[in-house]
A and B are shown apart, each in its own frame.
Chain A
């Protein structure tokens, strides 16, 4: 029986399940314990699992992310929660220079089975130090897997395979999705190697991830009202990208719009466009378009923030421009 729950509850359930199933799993981060998690993802865990396994850390992003790498090497299966992607920059050295490179530098002697979760994205008027979408940067780095759960199913189903992965997995949870409700199907297992077509269409492929997925779905509904059938692809896995699903969709629709909350310059969208060009150029009826964030630190004022981000209207407009 499918049931209704929200994104936060789905992720909380996934973590709860992991903590119950495997004594090596523990959760660590700022205010994950007594506070219940910055976004209440771990509410109640502290009382249930105790302070050892639901480990509150000081404000030491570099220190505790590095410690999680060490704990993973020492036989544990840590889940690290970093409050937001902005603060993860303080830990970037450990993620890029240690976790991602460790297996390679050691000639394959050591893998780092670590899961790092963090909030990403804008939309809550939190201004320029709490709103950025830097998952595209992380997707640049060999040696880690990058996930962006965008549906209830993703939120429920991605953690278990991430924990089972012998290598570091970084999970980006878009803040705009936390209260999103939906049906969790009976089979919610997720393959963390593939993208997923969320809406079948024939006229244009809209390729997106994370917080932009609901916006793309809304845009597709508006387009349908105008007689345009959009196919919506949820990338889900940002590294390694599932090129086959992207190109299959583009080959079918002959047009593509990439939607990405990262800034346009050097964006993940640019990478997706390049792959389309490399693989299905001759299938295209029009140049590939993209809808990204404007090139500005995310502003505080609501109207400016909205203007800076991809919106359903911008996606609809891009598709209509393309169809002439």
Chain B
């Protein structure tokens, strides 16, 4: 059984130099501030549709993506703002996309759930639960067939594990020994359904083992653990030893989307998990080790807020794609490169 009670905050020395540690902390803060502002702009009617916030889960995307390289492929879900940002997509392009503006990364065609970036090999932003897994298998297959030293990291939630696509994809990837990391962000709920109410086997690593696929589990609230575990998995996949399942045990602090009264969980449970918040626990550790001062943290936070303000200004100043262009980007134009 999954222990629903939050474990104590991580302890022990942070095995990173100050520079690297602060870079990862800054990324978590950037995501947090961007997400808070997105929620605010949703309330203001600037962002519409579904909006799924990553608040509370920042250590997972930041730790995992910093263990990957630019040549690797990323496949994500509709809860992907953080992944897109850390991967290198401009915050302004993300914000403009959520606004539906032409200056967004998909010209407003995708919105919050469909952030793509060719330059950083971010293959979406997929709003079909489990939909990205077969895609990741294929990206892994292409890399293997072309002898490219590329790992594909596919992020998905605990809810996706119940889909048939999960079974088919893990089987294919293991059968063909593909360089794919199945990165499960287990936040214990798929919308309002707790994992015990959707999985006969709640130990997800056991499931992976049934495909002959090695599995690792990391405390998803501890960025050091996330990074180390992902690094181990990447090393193995890059060495041609096949796919790997990685479970990040994490927790979503906010509602599933903006339409969620959170009737399915206790406030106390959320509060308990918040004591393990990835940002304050990590910054406390760094401070205790003399790698971070309060002034540095405040400067980092101010920089994140300034980036967010600039992103909002960019989105506000953005333009609407003319309706005459409605039918663009359905098929590739004849003379496209």
Given known contacts A66-B165, A67-B141, A74-B141, A109 and B117 CB-to-CB distance under 8 angstroms: yes
Task: Give the complex CA separation of A95 and B146 in angstroms.
Answer: 24
Task: Give the complex CA separation of A167 and B331 in angstroms.
Answer: 6
Task: Give the complex CA separation of A63 and B180 in angstroms.
Answer: 14
A2 contacts partner chain B, Cβ-Cβ < 8 Å: no
Task: Give the complex CA separation of A167 and B336 in angstroms.
Answer: 11
Chain B residues with Cβ under 8 A from A107's Cβ? 104-110, 116, 329
Closest A-chain residue to B166, C-beta based?
A63
A147 CB, nearest partner CB in chain B, Å: 14
| Contact in complex: A66, B139 (CB < 8 Å) | no
Task: Give the complex CA separation of A57 and B137 in angstroms.
Answer: 13
24 contacts between A and B (CB under 8 A): A60-B172, A62-B134, A63-B137, A63-B171, A66-B135, A66-B169, A69-B135, A71-B142, A75-B146, A76-B146, A97-B131, A102-B124, A103-B331, A104-B109, A105-B114, A106-B106, A106-B109, A106-B114, A107-B107, A108-B328, A108-B329, A110-B116, A111-B332, A167-B332
| Contact in complex: A108, B107 (CB < 8 Å) | yes
Chain A residues with Cβ under 8 A from B175's Cβ? 58
Task: Give the complex CA separation of A71 and B110 in angstroms.
Answer: 22
| Contact in complex: B165, A111 (CB < 8 Å) | no
Task: Give the complex CA separation of A199 and B131 in angstroms.
Answer: 45
A73 contacts partner chain B, Cβ-Cβ < 8 Å: yes
Q: Which residues A163-219 have CB closer than 8 A to chain B?
A: 166-167
A32 contacts partner chain B, Cβ-Cβ < 8 Å: no
| Contact in complex: A105, B110 (CB < 8 Å) | yes
Task: Give the complex CA separation of A83 and B109 in angstroms.
Answer: 34
Closest A-chain residue to B106, C-beta based?
A107
Task: Give the complex CA separation of A64 and B140 in angstroms.
Answer: 12
Chain B residues with Cβ under 8 A from A108's Cβ? 107, 328-329
Given known contacts A74-B139, A107-B110, A110-B118, A166 and B146 CB-to-CB distance under 8 angstroms: no
A101 CB, nearest partner CB in chain B, Å: 9
Task: Give the complex CA separation of A93 and B201 in angstroms.
Answer: 26
Interface residue tally of chain B, by bracket? 35 or more
| Contact in complex: B138, A74 (CB < 8 Å) | yes
A262 contacts partner chain B, Cβ-Cβ < 8 Å: no
A52 contacts partner chain B, Cβ-Cβ < 8 Å: yes
| A side interface size, CB within 8 A | 40
Task: Give the complex CA separation of A143 and B109 in angstroms.
Answer: 14
Most buried by B among A58, A65, A76: A76
Chain B residues with Cβ under 8 A from A85's Cβ? none
Chain B residues with Cβ under 8 A from A64's Cβ? 134, 168, 172
| Contact in complex: B171, A58 (CB < 8 Å) | yes
Task: Give the complex CA separation of A106 and B137 in angstroms.
Answer: 20
Task: Give the complex CA separation of A109 and B110 in angstroms.
Answer: 11
Task: Give the complex CA separation of A108 and B329 in angstroms.
Answer: 5
B29 contacts partner chain A, Cβ-Cβ < 8 Å: no
Chain A residues with Cβ under 8 A from B73's Cβ? 74
Besides A26-B145, A52-B145, A74-B146, 16 other A-B contacts (C-beta < 8 A): A58-B175, A63-B137, A67-B134, A67-B172, A69-B135, A70-B134, A70-B139, A70-B142, A74-B141, A78-B138, A93-B131, A94-B134, A105-B110, A105-B124, A106-B125, A110-B118
Per-residue A-contact encoding for B303-337, CB less than 8 Å = 1, 0 else? 00000000000000000000000001111100010
- Mark B residues whose CB is within 8 Å of A: 73, 104-110, 114, 116-118, 123-126, 128, 131, 133-143, 145-146, 152, 164-165, 168-169, 171-172, 175, 328-332, 336
A38 contacts partner chain B, Cβ-Cβ < 8 Å: no
Chain A residues with Cβ under 8 A from B330's Cβ? 103-104, 142-143
| Contact in complex: B126, A98 (CB < 8 Å) | yes
Chain B residues with Cβ under 8 A from A70's Cβ? 123, 134-142, 152
| Contact in complex: A93, B128 (CB < 8 Å) | yes
Given known contacts A74-B138, A93-B131, A105-B114, A63 and B124 CB-to-CB distance under 8 angstroms: no
Closest B-chain residue to A26, C-beta based?
B145
Chain A residues with Cβ under 8 A from B137's Cβ? 63, 66-67, 70
| Contact in complex: B171, A109 (CB < 8 Å) | no
Closest A-chain residue to B329, C-beta based?
A108
Task: Give the complex CA separation of A70 and B118 in angstroms.
Answer: 14
A43 CB, nearest partner CB in chain B, Å: 23
| Contact in complex: A66, B134 (CB < 8 Å) | yes
Closest A-chain residue to B116, C-beta based?
A106
| Contact in complex: B107, A62 (CB < 8 Å) | no
| Contact in complex: A63, B139 (CB < 8 Å) | no
A72 contacts partner chain B, Cβ-Cβ < 8 Å: yes
A68 contacts partner chain B, Cβ-Cβ < 8 Å: yes
B105 CB, nearest partner CB in chain A, Å: 7
Task: Give the complex CA separation of A111 and B169 in angstroms.
Answer: 22
Task: Give the complex CA separation of A69 and B140 in angstroms.
Answer: 11
| Contact in complex: B117, A60 (CB < 8 Å) | no
Task: Give the complex CA separation of A62 and B170 in angstroms.
Answer: 12
Task: Give the complex CA separation of A55 and B133 in angstroms.
Answer: 19
Task: Give the complex CA separation of A215 and B165 in angstroms.
Answer: 40
Chain B residues with Cβ under 8 A from A167's Cβ? 331-332
| Contact in complex: A103, B332 (CB < 8 Å) | yes
Chain B residues with Cβ under 8 A from A62's Cβ? 134, 164-165, 168
Given known contacts A71-B139, A74-B143, A98-B128, A63 and B106 CB-to-CB distance under 8 angstroms: no
Task: Give the complex CA separation of A58 and B137 in angstroms.
Answer: 14
| Contact in complex: B106, A109 (CB < 8 Å) | yes
B87 CB, nearest partner CB in chain A, Å: 14
> Among A66, A75, A143, which residue has its beta carbon within 8 angstroms of that of B133?
A66
> Among A58, A110, A142, which residue has its beta carbon within 8 angstroms of that of B123?
A110
